[in-house]
Amino acid sequence: MKKAMSLIVVAGVGIGALFVSTSAAATKPASVKVNLTEFSIVPDKASVKAGRVVFRVKNIGVETHEMVVVAATSPEVLPLKPDGSVDEAAIPQAHKYGETGELKVGKSKTLVIKKKMGPGSYVLFCNLVEKMPNGTTMVHFKSGMHTLFTVT
């Protein structure tokens, strides 16, 4: 009887250890480095496995930029404002995954996506609209500052 008890305890510890190591692997987020410049968004990998994702975003350009993450099949399907920037208010909350906010030249930000990213297509984009001294605007999204990102 005593022997049987200790066997059960050992088995229990074994299962516990297995569970801990499996869940640790599952919660370790995928890490993606992203460079922002005029006018492109360049991740160091085009896809990651589904789950937690962390974007390490750096502005290597000469102007302020940002990065917004939304679920979408392509940049072309995103709703636009008349000026050609993305109408973020028209994107369902469920499709929004986070954003860095404005990053000045040379600045970095670690964007931890709070929701798990499921398999599918996402668009990373900069939605800044600059007012130029001559009164015109420079719309970063319209200038091509977006890229498709895949979660498998």
Which residues contact Cu ion by CB under 5 A? 65, 126, 128, 140, 145
Sign of CA dihedral 117, 123, 124, 128: negative
Q: What is the DSSP letter of 3?
A: H
Nearer to Cu ion by C-beta: 78 or 145? 145
Judged by DSSP in three states, 152 sits in coil
Q: Cis bond leading into 39, ω under 30°?
A: yes
Minimum Å distance from CB 59 to Cu ion?
A: 8
Report the distance separating Cα 48 and Cα 139, nearest Å.
Answer: 29
Smaller CB separation from Cu ion, 52 or 142: 142
Closer residue to Cu ion in complex, CB, 52/58: 58
Q: Which is nearer to Cu ion, 39 or 151 (CB)?
A: 39
Nearest approach, Cβ of residue 145 and Cu ion (Å): 5
d(CA 38, CA 60): 9
Shortest separation between residue 70's beta carbon and Cu ion, angstroms? 15
Q: Which helix (H) or strand (E) holds 64?
A: none
The least distance separating Cu ion from the CB of residue 128, rounded to whole angstroms, comes to 5
